[in-house]
Structure 1
Amino acid sequence: MSETAAPRTEQTIREPIIRIAQVEKSYGGVVALRGVSMDIGAGEVVVLIGPSGSGKSTLLRCVNHLEEPTAGVIQVDGHVMGYTLKRNVLRECNQSTLAAQRRSTGMVFQHFNLFEHRTAVENVMEGQISGLRETKAVASARARELLEMVGLAEKAGAYPSELSGGQQQRVAIARALATRPEVLLLDEPTSALDPELVGEVLDVISELARQGVTMMIATHEISFAEDVATTVCFMDKGVVVETGAPRDVIRNPSEERTARFLAHIGSARTADV
């Protein structure tokens, strides 16, 4: 923890699944997050929208402690991420404890991050074997089940170089789900895809939402956000400017900054047609 970070206290909770309390993140003199707070319950789908550099990806990376907040507290499934409570004081945990904490979150990145030298099924098996200590037989059975769920059963033996971008991202989603996380974090999951491949990934995410998977998603796909989200958060300059039901935020924003962003997105898409 930074020497300038605000003091942290333990709050024992079981609900909501995620509690983000006054989180800040700075990189030198650049402030990426400014006092962000939100609660996310089981089965909710919270979609983060906003311009590039607004803090969406940084927030997701703070949730699973890939980035350490400068101040504030993030709890996932009742645990303060990156810390353990000893004698009523929060102390930084060791790497093995942090790895165990991170298993409560599954992360899907913009650029897939698959192991190039491993097949699709081996990529999905990896976390189960290294993190959960599952046998290869058990891990393989679950991996094949998940690949079937994302429509890639026939690609189990294919290497990433043999898959399209959309197929690679669907493998990445299966991999993130393999360890049965409490919440799925998706960071711009379609931004690296050709336009014709976006739909196949969004279809998989929409199905997960219908199944009640708890998710935080950063995206520029506004119509998708309206369809899949239970809550939409508009972020700008590290602040949550507006949050609410998707129809309210997207169709009838109460903040002028939100309205300007959505108008710009709409005009940009019209120009592309």
Structure 2
Amino acid sequence: MALLIGLVTAKLDIFFERKVPEVIRLLVSPLLTTLVSSFLLFLLIGPIGRGLASGITNVLVWMTRNLGIFGYAAFSGVQQLIVITGLHHVFGAIESQLLVDTGRNFLNPLMSVAIIAQGGAVLGYMVRNMKDAKTKELCIPSFVSVLFGITEPALMNYVIAHVVALGNGFLIHIGINTVNLNGKYFDVQAAVVDQVKRGDILVTEDIEKIKAEGYDMSVMLIATDVNGRKIGKESPGKIKKGEKIAELV
């Protein structure tokens, strides 16, 4: 549920940031986002999220009981993904019921294996980026948390940000000193926090009119957040539509 409401709130925030007039945006946009997301949480997202969590949990337990080693492997692999949502606390009730019904708890060692794997992922990433002081600064406390069975820091800092690679941040500045135009001749198609893919239109501009105003139309692409990755740049100069200018490696 935490993951679902976070996604919905982010989308609502982007929607209201676009629709609410700028003069009242700072006051009205957060209020509308909170109000609408709260109603959706209690009326729609909560029941749906709870049902999904219960269904997934029941399926995983069934797999461990009926599919042998393959069921165990599937449970260990998926269990940490459930931790991201915060719904892993429901396993405590399931473990108690298993002890009552069968006299043993086979879920605990499987979760321990998953936790150890997260610690290994953090250490591996740190070794790979030993020269990066920020990486070591975050990896070491994340690994220490894993030793106590707490994998959230490792999951949020590395498994999501670096392995799954949810996104990278870039700033695009079109023209030299064109900020003085105050948006004149530009039509922005994407919001600041939007995730975009190849082929999406970010902005359109009237190049000839901007040049007529005396501005240089050089374009700057600035990487603001590349999740510890390096940028491989192509040769500078004029490019055509579809040509590669840089690559994250």
TM-score (norm 2): 0.25
- Give 1 or 2: higher strand fraction: 1
Which of structures 1 and 2 has the larger relative contact order (alpha carbons within 8 angstroms, sep 6+)? 1
Structure richer in helix, relative to its length: 2
Q: Could you say which structure has the larger radius of gyration?
A: 2
